Amino acid sequence: MAKHEEPLNAEQLRLVLQTIARRADVARQTIWGVIDGEKDELNIVAEAVACIMTSIGAMADCASGATTLGDADYWNHGPRFAEAGKELGHD
């Protein structure tokens, strides 16, 4: 990685955070693909790592304006979460 003498500006920081969010999402999706079937040690570890990636992705995405996938609710509860709230009058 290149050494920067000056701190990142707001746009550079946003781009870095979006990249972190995207990579966290790829890792999360890959790990969830492994979690299938009985709960053996590998599945337990994979589930724990998927939870960590969800947190990292949500934090980076929210800090960059929630434009990569969405806000923390999207990351933690899926794309239909906000819609479900509107159906119940929780908007």
Classify residue 4: in a domain, yes or no: no
pTM across the whole model:
0.58
Instruction: Output the pLDDT for position 1.
Output: 40
**Rounded mean pLDDT for each run of 10 residues along the chain, 91 residues in total:** 65 86 83 68 79 85 80 82 68 52
Instruction: Output the pLDDT for position 88.
Output: 56
Instruction: Output the pLDDT for position 78.
Output: 81
Classify residue 37: in a domain, yes or no: yes
Classify residue 1: in a domain, yes or no: no
Domain holding 65, by residue range, is 10-87
Classify residue 25: in a domain, yes or no: yes
Classify residue 30: in a domain, yes or no: yes
Classify residue 56: in a domain, yes or no: yes
Number of domains in the chain: 1
Classify residue 3: in a domain, yes or no: no
Give start and end residues of each alpha helix (H) in 4-87. 10-34, 41-63, 72-77, 81-87
Phi and psi at residue 32, in whole multiples of 5°? Answer: -65, -25
